[in-house]
A and B are shown apart, each in its own frame.
Chain A
């Protein structure tokens, strides 16, 4: 029986290999366990990536929103402050000519630490020159650039402004009777002579009537130097060999759109249509050109215009307008500012500043007119 007991208690040395590997597997540290750990690690990475994506989506969404909103926001204009404040007063502030004058004045003023405002441009009420003068005086501006409207009240207000120490520079038109500080514009005499020369040049033996569109009251046409000069020169001329009637019409009334209607009437009426039409205003010139072209009367009337808007230059290019006198608007604006600066610094200033004038006709139109700039008809 002892032998039997020995047999029962005989224990094999060491564990079998298979058993050992199973023990190693006990807590999942086997190959498949590594794969699973890798899978779990990958899931964690995916979660981390998702969170990053989430933040990126949010960030990009907000950036997109901000960018979109910025697109719509009005650009905050840099506000520049100036030491001096000038105003420009004219009834014709909406014409291209005055806009050019204003822009050049503004640019010139900025260099002189001054700001020029086109008075009444943004007001809802269409104030008269006198009202605008009063506002300017009440606003204690540092200088007034004024195109006088020939009204007596304006003269008083010029005097009042001068009395209040505000220099008044008259532009384009002068107000000799007032105590204006200086005048910037074309010398009316030389302007008259130039127009007269151009009229005489365009006259032929068939020329019977010449009409000058002025802005002075009917019956006071003699006060207009251009009209006077033309009348004198035509009378002296012997081109036609017969009497040529030179008349003047005031087409600048207080009513809007009056000028256009009047010009149209003059051109459409064979009795009143002149052989030579002299316009002393850019708008008048444009109206005359457009009417002639519209009613196909090209060649029936010779138009001598004023200033050089794109439309006027187109008219010259198409030989509807014979010639035009281009006033140097830029120079005009700059000279106004110069006069104000001079007065401010020196206490006095030259009585007048002459502005250059250029004759534009079919000979030199190419220098001023580029077809690309013309709006399509």
Chain B
């Protein structure tokens, strides 16, 4: 039972909540109007009842007046008959007598302590006596007993007076009571007006309250919707979901809004997820690239492994030493140092000091080969000696300067190496006074378009483009190396700028060598 009752309640609840706003408003107006209307109906009924009572007030007076009138007609028609013996009067008399008897038959007949009913009874009995007396008088008249009918009429006339007096008195009594009743009715009418006005005012107030409450319930979700929409518009996508308690238009809109809000949230979450995924992917890609570069570096370094030569040179140096040829021995040792450096440093970074040393060895070798043709000048800040750099970067540049700059020139070839601290960088400059380069050539080299001459017997095998590529990979920066030339015959300068990751030692020292 209980469950069923709950279900009915739930059903009702759902039913009202699911109604459209229009229906709800109509329901509110209808209900409140119905209350006022039913109250009005009730009041009208009361007013009608009161009016009915007012009508009844005078009915008794009217019937008494009728009684009095009929009695007068009875009496007059008898008088006329006695006076003229007109058969019409007699007929009239009988007719009126009949009417009168009917009227008095409605009167009270028993003795009672009610003054008015007692008067009715007396009128009734006196009327009977009167009619009997009239009847006797009539007989006497018809029997021509003049004395008797005169006397009879006299007595009847007296009774007529008494009855009229009674009717008059009774009428007055009734009128007085009726007037009192009328006063009561008027007073009660006043009270009815007052009460109904008070009730109507109260009902109006309560109705207003109900309407206010009801419409507030209907409208409130709209306010909530506007508030939450503003919040969302302001960028707060975590705003609370709207409460959906009804199935009306606002309920539908609120549901749609909630769905939209949820969709936006879901979308934001998805976007964040995909951005995160993209970031991770990029990171992995970068890591892969690094690995690749590393591989390429190792590959490039492996290209310049001169292991066999190094072993041969060691043997040559020992031979020269045994033969007492010191210069040859020094030359071969320099050669050996040069190639040892290559062997040793092929897999790891080196310092600037080692790089400069390798350049020294190389210049020495070349000058032995070419009888001191090349002037080498260096200006080095010793503090930069311990700076880590990729191995085999300076020697190929110097080699390139000699091979392409200083060869086949009519003037003395000269190469200057300078290593200076410049701001947060180490500036390494290798300058020659050779043939120089055209800007187009420089661009080609910088773009890596010039392939190193693999078949050149006079080369270490590491071209400028390799150096450029390795520097770029190592420092992750495109402009680590730059080539400057003022044009044909004006020489070339290659500048490497290495970012300084740690402070250089304080002591100052510059090494110069020619």
Q: Are A22 and B262 in contact (CB under 8 A)?
A: yes
- B240 adjacent to A25 (CB under 8 Å): yes
Kindly state whether residue B242 has any CB partner on chain A within 8 Å: yes
B191 touches A65 (CB 8 A): yes
| A-side contacts of B159, CB under 8 Å | 134, 138
Chain A residue with Cβ nearest B35: A54
Instruction: Confirm or deny: B271 has a beta carbon within 8 angstroms of a beta carbon on chain A.
Output: no
Contact A134/B243 with A47-B213, A69-B191 known, Cβ cut-off 8 Å: no
Which A residues from 35 to 53 make CB contacts under 8 A with B?
Answer: 36-37, 40, 43-44, 46-47, 50-51, 53
A50-B210, A124-B172 as given contacts; A72 in contact with B187, CB under 8 Å: yes
Say yes or no for B79: interface residue by CB 8 A criterion. no
Are A57 and B281 in contact, with the CB atoms below 8 A? no
The residue from B110, B165, B203, B280 contacting A124, defined by CB atoms under 8 A apart: B165
Q: Is the CB of B166 within 8 A of A123?
A: yes
CB atoms of A139 and B240 under 8 A apart: no
Is A30 close to B, CB under 8 A?
Answer: yes
Chain B residues closer than 8 Å to A51, beta-carbon distance: 206, 210
Do A124 and B240 touch (CB < 8 A)? no
| A77 at interface by CB-CB < 8 Å | yes
Judge whether B111 and A81 touch: CB under 8 Å.
yes
Is there contact, CB below 8 Å, between A69 and B188? yes
Distance A115 CA – B112 CA, assembled complex (angstroms): 7
Tell whether, in the assembled complex, residue A81 and residue B110 are in contact, meaning their CB atoms are under 8 Å apart.
yes
Minimum distance in angstroms from B116 CB to a CB of chain A? 9
Chain B minimum-CB-distance residue to A69:
B188
Is A235 at the interface (CB under 8 A from chain B)?
no
Interface centre among A58, A68, A114 (most CB of B within 10 A): A58
* Docked-complex contact B284 and A27, CB < 8 angstroms: no
Q: Are B245 and A37 in contact, CB atoms less than 8 angstroms apart?
A: yes
Which chain A positions have C-beta within 8 A of B258?
26-28
B184: chain A residues at CB < 8 Å are 69, 72-74
Assess whether B284 is in contact with A79, with CB atoms less than 8 Å apart.
no
Q: A117 contacts the other chain (Cβ, under 8 Å)?
A: yes
**Closest approach, in angstroms, between the C-beta of A224 and any C-beta of chain B?**
33
CB pair A122 B169 closer than 8 Å: yes
In the bound complex, residues from chain B placing their C-beta under 8 Å from that of A54 are 35, 202-203, 206-207
**0/1 string, B468-507, CB within 8 A of A gives 1:** 0000000000000000000000000000000000000000
Asked whether any CB of chain B lies closer than 8 Å to the CB of A19, the reply is yes
Known: A3-B284, A19-B269. A77 touches B114 (CB 8 A): yes
Q: Is B368 located at the chain interface by the 8 A CB criterion?
A: no
A8/B281 in contact, CB under 8 A: yes
CA distance A138 to B255 in the complex (A): 96
Q: How large is the interface on B (under 10, 10 to 19, 20 to 34, 35 or more residues)?
A: 35 or more
- Is there a chain B Cβ closer than 8 Å to A135's Cβ? yes
* B327 adjacent to chain A (CB < 8 Å): no
Is A268 an interface residue, CB under 8 A from the partner? no
Contacts of A30 in B (CB 8 A): 240-241
User: Is the C-beta of A64 less than 8 angstroms from some C-beta in chain B?
Assistant: yes
**Segment among B119-127, B301-309, B384-392 that sits at the interface with chain A:** B119-127
Q: Confirm or deny: B447 has a beta carbon within 8 angstroms of a beta carbon on chain A.
A: no
Distance (whole angstroms) from the CB of B401 to the closest CB of chain A: 43
- Judge if B199 is at the interface, Cβ distance under 8 Å: yes
Contact A79 to B117, CB < 8 A, known contacts A124-B172, A139-B122: yes
Q: Which one, A44, A53, A65, contacts B206 given CB within 8 A?
A: A53
- A115–B188 Cα distance when bound, in Å, is 35
The 8 A CB mask of A257-291 against B (1 = contact, 0 = none) is: 00000000000000000000000000000000000
Chain A residue contacts of B285, Cβ below 8 A: 4
* Set B126, B158, B202: member contacting A61, Cβ < 8 A: B202
Which residues of chain B from 144 to 161 have any CB-CB distance to chain A below 8 Å in the complex?
158-159
In Å, the complex CA distance between A73 and B191 comes to 13
Q: Which of B173-181, B353-361, B412-420, B437-445 contacts A (4 or more CB under 8 A)?
A: B173-181
Q: Which residues of B contact A58 (CB under 8 A)?
A: 39, 199, 203
Docked complex: B236-281 residues within 8 A CB-CB of A: 238, 240-245, 255, 258-259, 262, 265-266, 269, 273, 277, 280-281
Query: Which B residues are CB-close (under 8 A) to A65?
Result: 46, 188, 191-192, 195
Bound together, the chains give a CA A68 to CA B259 distance in angstroms of 62
**Residue numbers in A under 8 Å from B115 (CB-CB):** 122
Q: Please pick, from B111, B122, B206, B216, the residue contacting A57 in the complex, using a CB distance under 8 A.
A: B206
Does chain A have a CB within 8 A of B58?
no
A135 touches B113 (CB 8 A): no
**What would be 23 A-B contacts, judged by CB atoms less than 8 Å apart?**
A3-B284, A22-B241, A22-B262, A36-B224, A36-B243, A40-B245, A43-B214, A43-B217, A47-B213, A47-B214, A50-B206, A50-B210, A51-B206, A57-B203, A58-B199, A72-B187, A79-B117, A82-B111, A115-B113, A123-B166, A124-B165, A134-B158, A139-B121
Interface residues of A (CB under 8 A from B): 3-4, 7-8, 10, 12, 16, 19, 22-23, 25-28, 30, 32-33, 36-37, 40, 43-44, 46-47, 50-51, 53-54, 57-58, 61-62, 64-65, 68-69, 72-74, 77, 79-85, 110, 114-115, 117, 122-125, 127, 131, 134-135, 138-140, 142
